[in-house]
């Protein structure tokens, strides 16, 4: 039976071919829209001048994000991260779809944190408190459907 990594590997080819800075910038552009109100209210000020890496193990991709002048910025992987959050794509989907809270995912070691743990905890607490605006409900529902998919051998 195929593992989730084996099933997903062919679909990750475009991500692996595109320079990391490009998909980090694409993710930053999406997050700037989804989190626009939170950014304006200063909820992400703790990220100012800092960089957080998001590593999706089973896809083999790493996003590097930070906050500069009130905007989430995507960076290339040559820059060091102050904190790193790592896990599988399903765990990040569960978190984004709000089907699992960050505490549960970290406690079960399905998500891992390294580096500046204080920064990581601020980020975890932000995720716990963040409610996407209603206009993003279709995206949240789509994430919910994808997060519901079960792969053979998945947790």
Q: Which string of DSSP letters, residue by residue, matches the chain?
A: ---HHHHHGGGGHHHHHS-HHHHHHHHHHHHHHHTHHHHHTTTTGGGBT-EEEEEETTTTEEEEEEEETTEEEEE-TTSPPSEEEEE-HHHHHHHHTTSS-HHHHHHTTSEEEEE-HHHHHHHHHHHHH----GGGHHHHHHHHHHHH---TT--
- Give a yes or no: residue 59 inside a domain: yes
- What does the pLDDT read at residue 98? 79
For the residues 46-61, what does the mean pLDDT come to?
A: 91
Say whether pLDDT at 151 is over 70.
no
- Give a yes or no: residue 31 inside a domain: yes
Which CATH number belongs to the domain containing residue 42 in this structure? 3.30.1050.10
- Give a yes or no: residue 155 inside a domain: no
Could you tell me the pLDDT band of residue 5, with boundaries at 50, 70 and 90? Answer: low
- What does the pLDDT read at residue 97? 79
- Give a yes or no: residue 153 inside a domain: no
- Give a yes or no: residue 120 inside a domain: yes
- What does the pLDDT read at residue 149? 67
Q: Are 98 and 123 in contact (CB under 8 A)?
A: no
- What does the pLDDT read at residue 23? 84
**Which residue's entry shows tokens 């800092």?**
50
- Give a yes or no: residue 154 inside a domain: no
**Overall number of domains in the chain:** 1
- Give a yes or no: residue 152 inside a domain: no
Say whether pLDDT at 91 is over 60.
yes
- Give a yes or no: residue 132 inside a domain: yes
- What does the pLDDT read at residue 87? 93
For the residues 16-40, what does the mean pLDDT come to?
A: 89
Could you tell me the pLDDT band of residue 131, with boundaries at 50, 70 and 90? Answer: confident
Give the domain range for residue 69.
Answer: 4-147
């Amino acid at each position: 039976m195929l593992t989730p990594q084996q099933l997903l590997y062919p679909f990750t080819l475009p991500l692996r071919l595109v320079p990391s800075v490009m998909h980090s910038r694409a993710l930053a552009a999406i997050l700037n829209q989804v989190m626009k109100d939170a950014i304006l209210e200063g909820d992400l000020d703790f990220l100012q001048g800092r960089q957080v890496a998001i590593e999706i193990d089973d896809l083999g991709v790493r996003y590097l994000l930070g906050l500069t002048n009130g905007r989430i910025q995507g960076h290339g992987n040559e820059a060091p991260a102050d904190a790193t959050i790592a896990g599988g794509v399903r765990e990040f989907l569960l978190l984004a779809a709000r089907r699992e809270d960050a505490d549960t995912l970290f406690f079960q070691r399905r998500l891992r944190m390294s580096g500046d743990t204080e920064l990581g905890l601020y980020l975890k607490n932000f995720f716990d408190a963040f409610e996407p605006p209603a206009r993003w409900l279709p995206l949240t529902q789509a994430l919910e459907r994808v997060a519901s998919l079960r792969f053979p051998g998945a947790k």
